[in-house]
């Protein structure tokens, strides 16, 4: 008699593994529960603008003030500030006041990896 495959109830957050996964036909412990998909979508939407991608790539190198980002990206200061607000609200960047300036940095390196991988993929496609 074969092993019984546990199937999630319709209220469960467990997810059956995709075909080809090592856990095929079983509940996969590496799949993110459905409730996390909305948060991931929000994060990806926050990253889905060319200027925000450029900001993340700049901050990957070192923390920056708004004027540093304006100079590096050659975009107007109000636009940089607007995009920083979106990134901050999404938890991608944080700002630390130093005197009259706010120095922005990435919250963690995972976010930079997402952006770097997306840019590399786009370059491979073109």
Digit-by-digit pLDDT tens for the chain (126 residues) are: 444 444 444 444 455 555 666 655 565 555 556 668 888 899 999 999 999 999 999 999 999 999 999 999 999 999 999 999 999 999 999 999 999 999 999 999 888 999 999 999 999 998
Rounded Cα gap, residues 32 and 75, in angstroms? 37
Q: Which fold has domain 41-125?
A: Arc Repressor Mutant, subunit A (1.10.10)
pLDDT of residue 113: 92
Query: φ, ψ for residue 104 (rounded to 5)?
Result: -100, 145
pLDDT of residue 77: 97
Query: Which of 102, 121, 101 is CA-nearest to residue 53?
Result: 121
pLDDT at site 8? 43
The model carries a pTM of 0.73
CA distance 94 to 106: 6
Domain range summary for the chain, segments of one domain joined by +: 1-31, 41-125
């Amino acid at each position: 008699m074969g092993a019984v495959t546990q199937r999630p109830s319709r209220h469960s957050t467990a997810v059956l593994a995709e075909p080809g996964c090592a856990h095929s036909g079983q509940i996969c412990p590496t799949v993110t529960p459905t409730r996390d998909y909305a948060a991931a979508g929000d994060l990806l939407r926050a990253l889905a603008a060319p200027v925000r991608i450029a900001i993340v790539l700049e901050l990957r190198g070192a923390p920056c003030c708004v004027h540093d980002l304006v100079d590096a990206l050659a975009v107007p200061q109000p636009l940089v500030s607007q995009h920083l607000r979106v990134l901050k609200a999404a938890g991608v960047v944080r700002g630390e006041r130093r005197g009259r300036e706010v120095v922005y940095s990435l919250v963690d390196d995972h976010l930079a990896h997402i952006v770097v991988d997306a840019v590399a993929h786009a370059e491979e496609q073109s």
